[in-house]
Amino acid sequence: MAVRLDELAVPVIAAPMAGGASTPELVAAVNRAGGLGFLAAGYRSAPAMAEQIALVRKSSDRPYGVNLFVPSPPGDRAAVAAYRERLQPEAERWGVTLPEESGQPDRDDWEAKLAVLLADPVPVVSYTFGLPTAEEASALRAAGTLQVGTVTTPEEARAAQAVGMDALCVQGPEAGGHRGTHRVADVPGEVPLLRLLPAVREVTGLPLVAAGGLGDGAAVAAALRAGAVAVQLGTALLRSDESGASAAHRAALTELPETTVTRAFTGRPARGLRNAFIDRHGPYAPPAYPEVHHLTAPLRAAATRREDTEAMHLWAGTAHHLARSGPAEAIVTDLWRSAQG
């Protein structure tokens, strides 16, 4: 099932959204619209990823993608411990226990996921937070999988081409969720998507997918004019019927006024709706991923249970106020019609 990103019937890719927003139903709905659906394997075990792949295969015979988090080197334990101290009063207030650092590196089941994807290949795999080794990429290529590397700078684009990526997802600073920045401690780039695309084009001839802040037809058309063969939409699909986003997250997308980039929740820079938790703790969060993700997990779970949008992580791109509700198939179809109009 060879797939080319420059030959999609509708050049719209559903962004993989880990943490529950991406569902097999969302993949199938975007596929029905003629786009490319994506599963998010981040935070899932390899068997859980395989289960989701099986569900997609049952509901769609079109190509789809699976996104992987590339593991990062361990963060500074003392800095994580200091952040834990800082969050302690917050934890006491809400009656939650902050986990102690396990000392075990968390590689997001990377090796096991690659083994599953080699044994039972899928049409497309994309990577964020870094790149596979050239050997890993070459094994997946031999299995017939098209591979997409997420990049946020021309330098990362060069590295992605060097390890054998077939296409690049160029993620601008407008993007909702984590920046795909390859090194955890790097300050993420601020060159806007429409200028980043031509800058990346200067260093590579690979097909480019544009991601970040694309919320209406005009924005999609502009990204395609700037050199992308397709666009990757995350926030625009968060309020769709098939999204797994929580009710509080959906409501906040229209209610909260602005987004900001913060390490407060996970240790990696991510764009989310600005709230009190970010304002209080963001400046003190160390660049340690996924250690900070695990540290804040019970705080975030408690905030989600009480639907407290001032303490939840509410990933959203800059165009969040344009996100529509309704079936994802209609959202993609209308957006593409308006982009062509």
By beta-carbon proximity to ligand FMN, the closer residue of 62 and 239 is: 239
Question: Judged by CB, which is closer to ligand FMN: 252, or 285?
Answer: 252
Closest to ligand FMN by CB, 98 vs 269, is: 269
Q: Closest approach of Cβ 66 to ligand FMN, in Å?
A: 10
Give the list of residues 6+ apart from residue 197 with CB closer than 8 angstroms, or none.
170, 208, 210, 223, 226, 227, 228
- 70 versus 80: smaller Cβ distance to ligand FMN: 70
Closest to ligand FMN by CB, 181 or 235: 235
User: Toward ligand FMN, which CB reaches closer, 23 or 128?
Assistant: 128
For residue 116, the one-letter residue type is V
Cβ at position 297, least distance to ligand FMN in Å: 16
Q: Measured from the CB of residue 337, what is the shortest distance to ligand FMN in angstroms? A: 18
- Of 150 and 240, which CB lies nearer to ligand FMN in the complex structure? 150
From the CB of 85, what's the least distance to ligand FMN, in Å? 29
Closest alpha carbon to 52 in 16, 81, 77: 16
Give the bridge partners for 68, in sequence order: 127
φ, ψ at 261 (rounded to 5°): -100, 130
Strand 177-178 and strand 208-211: pairing?
A: unpaired
Please report how close the Cβ of residue 89 comes to ligand FMN at its closest, in angstroms.
28
Shortest spacing between CB 52 and ligand FMN, in angstroms:
12
Q: Which residues of 129-165 are buried (b: 16+ CB within 10 A; e: fewer)?
A: bbbbeeebbebbeeeebbbbbbbbbbebbebbbebbb
**Burial degree of 190 (CB within 10 A; 0-12, 13-18, 19+):** exposed
CA distance linking residue 220 with residue 185, whole number of Å: 31
Residues that bind ligand FMN (CB under 6 A): 15-19, 21, 40, 42, 67, 128, 150, 171, 174-178, 180, 211-214, 232-236, 315, 317, 319
Q: Which is nearer to ligand FMN, 64 or 98 (by Cβ)?
A: 64
Please report how close the Cβ of residue 320 comes to ligand FMN at its closest, in angstroms.
Answer: 7
CA distances from 239 to 170, 213, 250 (A): 23, 15, 5
Q: Which is nearer to ligand FMN, 204 or 235 (CB)?
A: 235
Shortest gap between Cβ of 95 and ligand FMN (angstroms)? Answer: 27
